Amino acid sequence: MIPKRDAKQILAQLSDTEEFSSIVDNVAIIKNTNFKTRKSLESVVNQEMLDNFQKIEEAIINLQRLFEDTKKPILKSQNSHIDEMSYVSLFEILKQSIPVSIPSEIFIKLPRHDYAIKGIKKKLVTLFSSLIRNSIQAMDKKGTITIRAFESNKQVRIELEDTGNGIPEEMINQLFVAHTTTKKFGTGLGTSLAKSIVDMHGGTIFAKNNPTTFTIQLPVYE
C-alpha cells in the first residue's frame, strides 16, 4: 500500500493531466447513459434487470463521489496559480512539448528567438503538447509544424501553423468546447484544456484555416 500522504501527492500530479479529466468525464457519461437506459427499459424488462441497472448506477455514483472528493483538495491548490506564475522560457516549454517519437517525415520548425513568458511551466507544456499532438494527428505522418513568436504590447504572440488537412468545417465554431471531436477515439478535451490554460494566464487563443494556425497570446515576463 502507498502511504496516504504519498498517494495524495500522486493524485495531485495525476489530476493535472488530460487523462484524469477524461476519466472523470467518462464516469459522468456512463452514469447518464445508464440512467437513460434504465428509464427507457422500465416498462419492458423484468424487476431483476431493473435491480441490476440500479446496482450499476449506485456503483457509478460511488465512483463519481470518489473522483469528486479527490478533485476537491486539488481544485483548491489549482486556485493558487497566481502565486506560481514565474519566468518561463518559450524554448524550454516547446522543447518539452514535442513528443519523444514523431514520424520521421514530420518536421517541427521552432521560433528564431527565445521569449520570456510569465506563467506556469507545467501548464504551458500541457497546452503546447496538446496543440502539437493535434497538428501531428492532422498531418497523417508527413508535414511541417512551424512555430513563430513575436513580442508586442507586453504580450508574446505564438503562432503554431501546420500543413495538415485543416480544421473540419463543423468544428470551427466549437473548437474550444469540451467533448467536441471528429476523431474516432478522441476525447475532445485537448482544445478546451488549452483554452482554460490560456485563460488562467490572462491570454487569448484563436484558430483559423488556410493554413491551419493556432495563435496564442501570453503575458511577457518583465
Ligand X SMILES: Nc1ncnc2c1ncn2[C@@H]1O[C@H](COP(=O)(O)OP(=O)(O)O)[C@@H](O)[C@H]1O
Which of Mg ion, ligand X, none does residue 164 bind (CB under 5 to 8 Å by kind)?
ligand X
Q: Which of 186, 206, 208, 211 binds ligand X (CB under 6 A)?
A: 186
| Cα distance between residue 218 and residue 131, in whole Å | 15
Phi first, then psi, for residue 66 (nearest 5°) are -60, -45
Instruction: For residue 134, state whether it binds Mg ion (rule: CB under 5 A).
Output: yes
The H or E element that residue 74 is part of is helix 47-78
Q: How far is the CB of 66 from ligand X (least distance, A)?
A: 25
Q: Which of 70, 134, 155, 217 touches ligand X by CB under 6 A?
A: 134
CA–CA separation, 20 and 37 (whole Å) = 26
Residue 155 grid cell: 504580450
Q: Tell me the C-alpha distance between 209 and 172, whole Å.
A: 9
The three-point CA angle 97-99-100 to 5° equals 125
181 binds ligand X (CB under 6 A): yes
Decide if residue 93 touches ligand X (CB under 6 A): no
Q: Is 190 in the site for Mg ion (CB under 5 A)?
A: yes
Give which of 18, 78, 75 is closest to 200, Cα–Cα. Answer: 78
Segment 157-176, which members bind ligand X (CB under 6 A)? 162, 164, 166-168, 171, 175
188 touching Mg ion, by CB under 5 A = no
- Of Mg ion, ligand X, none, which one sits near residue 183, judging by CB under 5 to 8 A according to partner kind? ligand X
Q: Is residue 70 close enough to count as binding ligand X by CB under 6 A?
A: no
Q: Quick one: the chain helix, strand, coil %, rounded to 5? A: 50, 20, 30
Residues lying near ligand X in the complex (CB under 6 A)? 134-135, 138, 162, 164, 166-168, 171, 175, 180-183, 186-192, 212
Please report, as ranges, the residues that interact with Mg ion according to CB under 5 A. 134, 190
